[in-house]
Structure 1
Amino acid sequence: MDTLLHLLGMVLHIDQHLHDFIAAYGAWVYVLLFVIVFAETGLVVAPFLPGDSLLFVGGALAATGAMDGWMLGGLLFIAAVTGNTLNYMIGGYIGPKVFEHNWRFLDQNALRITHEFYERHGGKTVVLARFIPVVRTFAPFVAGVSGMSMRRFQIYNMLGALAWVALLVGAGYLFGNLPVVKQYLNVIVLIGISAAVVPLALGGLWRLLVKRRSVSQNR
């Protein structure tokens, strides 16, 4: 049991233990990273898995020679594209009824926020959401629910995956091994997440206040 819990902890915090995993399992690290990124982007029940920080740390390790940067980037791109495609297909299969039932395995708040984001930005949501934790997991699902065509979805899907992987792995490769970045990596990741999520939260709060004011005036 202790061993299982240890392995589970390593998977959930693989961005912090990646170097140790490489030392212990070698090339299997590529398989593990592929599975994690595929699951985070492909399964609406797995938004808790590391994404941004994982790509950044992977790029930093590639800069030291511990991993092959081109192989890492290529595999993560394929994982991101295929994961999103599966998520999109699941959303298309379930359809709009997902908004009519309180599905226990879905984060209803995240689903609502992502749907509102999709309503404002349309197909671009699939690209923009790549850089927003949690929303990244729900965006392809909502695109499928909303009936976006497969061709249109794949264009946005590939563009978003390419930008996400290239920017974060590239940033890790260039800056991940700077002493100040290594020391404050968790803080940097939290700042990045906040910069993406806080505007969405404020926008939702503003719309709620406007809606309540409108209801009050109509009484």
Structure 2
Amino acid sequence: MDTTSLIEWGGFLLIVALVFIETGMLVGLVVPGGETLVFTAGLLVSTGSLRVSIAVLLASLVLAGIAGDTSGYFIGQRFGTRLFHKQDTWYFKKKYLHLAADYFEKHRKASLVFGKFLPIIRPFSPVIAGTTNLGFPSFAALTVVASILYMCTFGLTGYFLGSQFPVIREYLGWILPISIMVALVPVIRQIRKNSRKE
């Protein structure tokens, strides 16, 4: 089942749930890509396939994103260093946790905002924040800004493209894989850079 079919089948509540669990339950590497999901949701609102207003969609996704990040923060605070000793599973890869930790160490607070736009960094960034001495008020403020920017960027892009070019919905089979590949470019560069260092 592709992203479009998944959204149309499960509807609004499924989208909100997937946005939450991407960062809230550390399964961001196995659920549909967040940016693809939000973009497609905005697109489907514009074509009437998803029967909510764009304002309700964005507000709900922002709240779900904040809730997911907050859950990830408390997971990091509670389990912290134990996660770095956890064995790899089908959904949890320790190397991605280390990648997020390196990114956070390099960019500190900015990583919570910019890391939101990086598919592999996004699920683990709140967790790393929870393992450090970053206070919750600072984390909460940053995650609110990050969620608003992220949801509005992809949701409104999908909505306005769908409004201006209704025919675009027929080409989602091409658009979605390309958007995923573009989103992965910065992550691939970071992985290659780390491999060279090792």
Out of 54, 58, 66, the residue aligned to residue 81 of structure 1 is 66
Contact 1:48 1:134 in 2 (8 A): no
Partner of 1:16: 5
The 8 Å contact of residues 36 and 49 in structure 1, kept in 2 or not, is answered as yes
Matched, 1:90 2:75: yes
Q: Which aligned segments of 4 or more residues in structure 1 are displaced greater than 6 angstroms?
A: none
Does residue 51 of structure 2 align to residue 64 of structure 1? Answer: no
1:40 and 2:22 correspond: yes
Is residue 186 of structure 2 the alignment partner of residue 199 of structure 1? yes
Distance 1:67 1:142, change over 3 A: same
Q: Supply the AA of the counterpart residue of 2:178.
A: I
Distance 2:170 2:47 in 1: 17
Count, aligned residues: 193
Whichever of the two has the greater Rg, that structure is 1
Give identity over the alignment, percent: 26
Cα distance in structure 2, aligned partners of 1:96 and 1:16 = 39
* Alignment check: 8 A CA contact 2:36 2:180 kept: no
Gaps of 5+ in 1: 1-8, 23-28, 212-219
TM-score (normalised: structure 2): 0.84
Gaps of 5+ in 2: none
Could you tell me how far apart the structure 2 residues matched to 1:200 and 1:116 are? Answer: 12
- The answer on 1:145 being equivalent to 2:131 is yes
What's the CA shift for 1:133? 1.7
Taking a change above 3 Å as real, the CA distance of residues 150 and 47 of structure 1, as seen in their structure-2 partners, is same
User: Structure 1-normalised TM-score?
Assistant: 0.77
Q: Structure 2 matches for 1:98-109, cutoff 5 A?
A: 98-102=83-87, 104=89, 106-109=92-95
Match of 2:149 in 1: 163
1:12-69 deviation digits (Å, cap 9, x = unpaired): x4433433x27xxxxxx22222111111121113432122122112111221343211
Report deviation, 1:76: 0.7
